[in-house]
Amino acid sequence: MRRALHLRAIAPYALLLPGLLWLVLFYVYPAFQMFLVSMWTGNLDAGFVQSWNWGIYPEAIAEYWPWLARSIVYGGLATILAFALGFPLAYAIAFRGGAYKNVLLFLVIAPFFTSFLLRTISWKIILADNGLLLGPLKDVGLLSEEFRLLATPAAVIAGITYNFLPFMTLPLYVALERMDKRLIEAAEDLYAGPWRPQGIIAGLVIGGVLGVVVGAVMGYGPVVVGIVGAVAGALVGTFLISQAFIRVTLPLALPGIFAGSLLTFIPAVGDFINAELLGNPQSLMIGNVIQARYLEVTDYPTASALSFVLMLAILIGLFFYARLLGTEELTGASV
Amino acid sequence: MAATSTTTSATAATATRRAPTARLGRLIDRWLLPIYVVGVTTYLILPVAVMILFSFNDPTGRSNLNWREFSLGAWLNPLGRPGLGDAVRNSLVVAFLSTLVATVLGTMIGLALARYAFRGRGATNILIFLPMSTPEIVLGASLLTTFVASVQLPLPEGLVFPLSIRTILIAHIMFNISYVVVTVKARLANFPRHLEEAAMDLGANEWTTFWKVTFPLILPGVIAAGLLAFSLSIDDYVITAFTSGQTQTFPLFIYGSQLRGIPVQVNVIGTIIFVTAVGLVLLTTLWQRRVAARDYTAGRA
The string of DSSP codes covering A266-335 is: HHHHH--HHHHHH--GGG--HHHHHHIIIIIS--HHHHHHHHHHHHHHHHHHHHHHHHHHT---HHHHT-
CA–CA gap between residue A240 and residue B28 (Å, rounded): 8
Angle, helices B165-188/B121-132, rounded to nearest 10 degrees: 120
Q: What is the pLDDT of residue A6?
A: 65
| Alpha carbon B203 to its chain's center | 39
Q: Are B88 and B273 in contact (CB under 8 A)?
A: no
Read off the pLDDT of residues B256-277 as tens digits, 9 standing for 90 and up: 888 778 888 999 999 999 999 8
Read off the pLDDT of residues A264-278 as tens digits, 9 standing for 90 and up: 999 999 999 999 999
Mutate which of B64, B142, B185 to disrupt the A interface (most A C-beta within 10 Å)? B142
| Pairwise pLDDT comparison (A235 vs B160), residue with the higher score | A235
Q: What is the pTM of this model?
A: 0.88
Contact B278 A110 (CB under 8 A): yes
Q: What is the pLDDT of residue B18?
A: 53
Residue A120's pLDDT band, with cuts at 50, 70 and 90, is: very high
How many Cα atoms within 13 Å fall on the side-chain side of residue B104?
8
What is the number of residues in chain B? Answer: 301
The phi and psi torsions of A42 (rounded to 5 degrees) equal: 135, -165
Q: Please state whether the peptide bond connecting residue B162 to the residue before it is cis, i.e. omega within 30 degrees of 0.
A: yes
Of A38-47, B128-137, B148-157, B291-300, the range with the highest mean pLDDT is B128-137
Distance from CA of B109 to the nearest CA of A (A): 5
Angle, helices B250-258/A116-127, rounded to nearest 10 degrees: 30
Decide if pLDDT at B5 tops 70.
Answer: no
Decide if pLDDT at A142 tops 90.
Answer: no
Q: What is the pLDDT of residue A325?
A: 65
Q: What is the pLDDT of residue B233?
A: 94
CA–CA gap between residue A15 and residue B108 (Å, rounded): 5
Residue A16: CB partners within 8 Å, gap ≥ 6?
A: B108, B109, B112, B124
Contact B108 A16 (CB under 8 A): yes
Decide if pLDDT at B194 tops 90.
Answer: no
| Pairwise pLDDT comparison (B212 vs B59), residue with the higher score | B212
Q: What is the pLDDT of residue B108?
A: 94
Contact B182 A31 (CB under 8 A): no
Decide if pLDDT at B68 tops 90.
Answer: no
CA–CA gap between residue A187 and residue A190 (Å, rounded): 5
Decide if pLDDT at B89 tops 50.
Answer: yes
ipTM: 0.88
Distance from CA of A323 to the nearest CA of B (A): 15
Nearest to B145 by CA among A307, A58, A272: A307
CB atoms within 10 A of CB B32: 16
Angle, helices A250-270/A56-96, rounded to nearest 10 degrees: 140
Residue B3's pLDDT band, with cuts at 50, 70 and 90, is: very low
Burial class of B13 by CB neighbour count within 10 A (0 to 12, 13 to 18, 19+):
exposed
Q: What is the pLDDT of residue A332?
A: 47
Phi and psi based region of residue A173 (left: phi greater than 0; alpha: psi -120 to 50; beta: remaining): alpha
Largest Cα span, chain A: 84
Handedness of CA B241, B243, B247, B248 (dihedral sign): negative
Q: Which of B47, B133, B235 sits opposite A122 (nearest CB)?
A: B47
What would be the CATH architecture of the domain defined by B82-262?
Answer: Orthogonal Bundle (1.10)
Q: Are B72 and A138 in contact (CB under 8 A)?
A: no
Nearest to A31 by CA among A307, A280, A294, A299: A307
Distance from CA of B295 to the nearest CA of A (A): 22
DSSP symbol at B5: P
Helix or strand run (H / E) with residue B138:
helix B136-149
**Cα angle, residue A165 at apex, residues A162 and A166 outer, rounded to 5°:** 125
Residue B167's pLDDT band, with cuts at 50, 70 and 90, is: very high
Terminal Cα distance for chain B, rounded: 46
Q: What's the whole-number mean pLDDT along residues A129-135?
A: 83
What are the domain boundaries of chain B?
12-73, 82-262
| Alpha carbon A275 to its chain's center | 14
Q: Which of A7, A34, A132 sits opposite B141 (nearest CB)?
A: A34
Q: How far is CA B184 from CA A256, B107, B219, B298, in A?
A: 20, 6, 9, 25
CB atoms within 10 A of CB A74: 26
Strand, coil or helix: what is A110?
A: helix
Q: Which of A247-256, A283-292, B133-142 has the lowest mean pLDDT?
A: A247-256
Q: What is the pLDDT of residue A79?
A: 96
Residue B99: CB partners within 8 Å, gap ≥ 6?
A: B176, B226, B229, B230, B233
Decide if pLDDT at A327 tops 80.
Answer: no
Mutate which of B30, B108, B138 to disrupt the A interface (most A C-beta within 10 Å)? B138
Q: Are A176 and A91 in contact (CB under 8 A)?
A: yes
Beta bridge partners of A242: A194
Q: Are A121 and A277 in contact (CB under 8 A)?
A: yes
Q: How far is CA A93 from CA A294, B34, B54, in A?
A: 43, 10, 31
Q: What's the whole-number mean pLDDT along residues B101-123?
A: 90
Average pLDDT of chain A, as a whole number:
88
Q: Are B266 and B63 in contact (CB under 8 A)?
A: no
CA–CA gap between residue A23 and residue B97 (Å, rounded): 17
Instruction: Give A89's contacts in chain B (Cβ within 8 Å).
Output: 36-37, 40-41
Distance from CA of B16 to the nearest CA of A (A): 13
Q: What is the pLDDT of residue B301?
A: 55
Decide if B226 touches A, using CB distance below 8 A: no
Burial class of B68 by CB neighbour count within 10 A (0 to 12, 13 to 18, 19+):
exposed
Decide if pLDDT at B226 tops 80.
Answer: yes
Q: Which of residues 169-198 of B touch A (CB under 8 A)?
A: 170-171, 173-174, 177-178, 181-182, 185-186
Beta bridge partners of A185: none
What would be the CATH architecture of the domain defined by A65-176+242-333?
Answer: Orthogonal Bundle (1.10)
Instruction: Give B133's contacts in chain A (Cβ within 8 Å).
Output: 262, 266, 314-315, 318, 330, 334
